Structures are given as structure tokens and as C-alpha cells.
Amino acid sequence: MKKIIAISILILFLIHPLIYAQIKSQNNNIWLHYVGKNKVSKKTYLTLEATMRYANGFKEKQQYFVRPSVDYQVNKTLLASIGYTHYNTFVYGNPALNKRPIPENHLWVQTNFTHQIGAFRLTNRFRDENRWVGLATLKPNSSEYIIGDYAYRNRLRYMPMVTFPVLKHEKSTVINGFLGDEAFINIGKNAGATLFNQNRLILGLGYVISKKSQIQLSYIKQRIWNLTDTIEETNPTLRVSYLTNLDFTKN
């Protein structure tokens, strides 16, 4: 276990980008987030995740996505998933990353390794995303941008996360804390100019309403690099999450 923790901490420090874009900008984000995990058999879950994201308070739409998946509990520590995500990223910020709203579709596979070490739960999540990203091109004889085609890109995501109790009542956790970092790594021939597509430092608290539901409040420092590495965003982000965990195998 100690080796796992040491390796995770080492990767956490190594994944922070050392590349600097030409233009830097900042947006103050608010993300509204939902995750519903539904047990449908002894080892199988159907999960739906969705979010609506805003930039600079609620002034500008940043992005939304819908992400259904099928999850299989291979053993006590390993959860394997396959899923689909549909994104739409809006025009926001100054300078803006996009010329027009950009649709994006993903097919992805994921592994989630969880280890309990005393009161601490260590999770290492790996995801391989196959991305089809809309390309904005000028409409002939017009200043309007349209989505004329889609480009295939590949991205790896790695997130170590530590969760721990902050407040207990009668041996049950009422408030938990969590700390992690997620790196988005560009790979393949259409990867772009930077190794990193994004990086997110995550710190938050969760209030356990019941065994079936939880509310989380997170601070996220989001960094984004555009494809050509001409713009870098550093976005302080407040995320409000509602999590549900339902068991449909029980009568």
C-alpha cells in the first residue's frame, strides 16, 4: 500500500505542466454537477453523469455534457467501465478558445482502483477517451462559422484522489473531505502542440445526506491549453455536486 501511495504522489507532482502558452486568461467558473450510480445486478451498475458549466459567475455558458456508462465490479478494488459522452463547449472568456459552440462525442473505457488505508480511501482512476471533436470553419462567402467536419483525437486522463472523514456521528461519516488532481494528456498524431490538454487540482467537502445521496462542494483550479498552445486558461472553479447511489437489486 505504501508503494501505491508513493507512486501516486510522485505522478501527482510530475503531471503538472511546465509549458507556457502565449496568451493567458482567467475565468471564474461555477459548475452544477450530478452523478447517479444505479446497481442493477450483483456486480453491474448503470451510471449517468451530467453537468452544466458557467464562466464568470453565471454570465457565460462554458460547457455542458451528458455521460452514461456501464460499470462492472471486477473485484473488491477494481471497477471497470465503458461509456459515452456528448459535450458542447460554448464561446466564453476573453480571448475565447472557440469561434463558435463546439460539439464533441467520446467513446471511452475506464478503470477505477480503490484501496482503503485506515480512515483514508485512495482512488486511482484511468480513462482512455476516443474523441470526435467538431471543427469550426468559415461558411463560404460569410463571416459565420459552421461545423464542417469532425477530427479524431485521443486523450488519457489520470486522477488520484484521497477521501477521508472530517466529521462523524455514531461511527458514521457525516462530512468527508477529498483532495486530488486530474491530468488530461494528449496522445496520438492529432494530439496538438502540448502534452497536456487540461489539469485540475481538486479540493472539497461532502455532506452525506444518507447512504443513497450526498452533496459535495469543491474548489477546482482548472488549467486549459488550446490545440495550438496559443491560449492558456487558469480558471478558479466552484463545483456543486449531487450524488445518488441506488440499489435496484433489492425488493
Would you state the pLDDT for residue 171? 85
Residue identified by cell 507512486 is: 7
Would you state the pLDDT for residue 97? 87
Global pTM exceeds 0.85: yes
C-alpha cell at 94: 476573453
DSSP code of residue 20: -
Which amino acid appears at position 89 of this protein?
Answer: T
Q: 186-229 pLDDT, tens per residue?
A: 999 888 889 999 999 999 999 999 999 999 999 999 999 988 88
Low-confidence ranges of the chain (pLDDT < 70): 1-21, 251
What mean pLDDT, rounded, does the chain reach? 91
**Closest by alpha carbon to 120, among 12, 214, 218, 4?**
4
Would you state the pLDDT for residue 61? 97
Torsions phi, psi of 142, nearest 5? Answer: -155, 160
Q: From residue 62, how far is each of 129, 174, 204 by CA, in Å?
A: 21, 32, 21
Q: From residue 185, how far is each of 112, 126, 147, 197 by CA, in Å?
A: 17, 11, 25, 6
Torsions phi, psi of 246, nearest 5? Answer: -110, 145
Would you state the pLDDT for residue 170? 86
Would you state the pLDDT for residue 21? 46
C-alpha cell at 88: 458542447
**Closest by alpha carbon to 69, among 34, 98, 110?**
110
